[in-house]
Structure 1
Amino acid sequence: MELLTSLLFQRGLYAPEYFKMTKKYGLNMLVTTDPQIKNHMREILKQVEAWLMACKVEKLILAIKSKETMTVLERWQFDIQNTKDYNATPNLTSLPASFGFSQQQSSPSQNQNKENMSFYNNSGSSNLDPTTSASQPSSSTKQKSEKSEKEIQTEIQAILRQITASVTFLPMLDEKCTWTILCQTERDAEVPATWSDADPHLVHNAEQVKLRSFSTNLHKIEALVAYRLQDDL
């Protein structure tokens, strides 16, 4: 939650008075103080955590859109790979599914933005080789030592610093914007009724910057940001 709310501050989607400084992952981070935003984020991430623990989530995306035109201006994507084996059987033959889930909430004030959460599922086509998908991990994989909390925290610190620094090259968002959180899951993931359909929210003619990756003992996360240059707006 701290990462997402920090991005909302850094990209100027809410006024500074809606944030406070706190210590997290060994860094000073800005987090929201507004109850509506906090509760909304908590509800989103509670479901994301459930999907993570079930090894059902593939991507977490923060899309920033023009409030007037609903054009996607910026897209922060976090690809999530499972580093532990689990007993999921991917369906390699069915057509891609596309469905999702969203909840609208009013913003802290009439002058601020409206936020919503969305989910889209598009996992019908898979690059997994069916001849190798059932193979057992090698002994070297099994014996791989687990990361310490300090190692994980150091990697998280590095990507957070890079995300903060990226504000220097991203175009200014000089218009009123809204934001959407999307989560791409495996096709068979259980989805709450409170979420609703969404498209992938791609950026047209995007510039892309790949960010650092980090991994825990369960997942590897790779990040990138896609954005539109001012001349394309």
Structure 2
Amino acid sequence: MQELIQRLGAVRASIDDAARRAQRDPAAIRLVAVSKTRTEGEIAAAAQAGQRDFGENYLQEALPKIEALLEHNLVWHFIGPIQSNKTRDIATHFDWVHSVSRLKIARRLSDQRPDGAPPLNICLQVNIDGEDSKAGVAPAETLELAREIASLPRLTLRGLMAIPAPADNAARQAAPFAALRRLTEDCRHHGLTMDTLSMGMSGDLDAAVAEGSTMVRVGTAIFGPRPVKTGETH
């Protein structure tokens, strides 16, 4: 676990360095540790080192971890694809959802958020590159969807999220992040309140921070190589 803590420290240092190069306050950038396939012990070790925000892709894997780690008072982010039959558990157990791209799903999350719970924080996932294989709302349809979601009673629309196609140089990495930033600015211009740009992972963190990311999602650089499950070939 000492190696995990050292890796976490190195990721935080990388974020701080990227922020300073971009002349930004490092405190304005939130680190979400992507903990899919990771054990409760690994998450607890990161929590004891001061990490509060954790991202999960798979609901059935996440629920036992959330229950087991209640004492750590963690902030849980759902960052995976959302099926309609999973919305109740997501609305009940998570603090943030980054992967909303349909009004139907947003309505279900709002309707199923428990009474007394604070509003569920929502980021719209935007298919910023227009990839056929990737989920997300089209950029041209983002403002309309954002307006509809902002009106739902038990949700708080916080901003936009994207997972751009991999790129092999800084300029290509920066382009989709800049496009998402401009889309956020357009939404604000039309009266929507947004304070979150969820973009950037280990390989493109510098470019994301330079373009205004307020939330980066990092997994392997913190936890080490992902365990290979039985039957997997990669």
Shorter-chain TM-score tier? under 0.3
Determine which structure has the larger strand proportion and give its number: 1
Give the TM-score normalised by the residue count of structure 2.
0.22
The structure with more helix, counted as a fraction of residues? 2
The higher-RCO structure (CA 8 Å, 6+ apart) is 1
Task: Provide TM-score, normalisation by structure 1.
Answer: 0.22
Bigger Rg, structure 1 or 2: 1
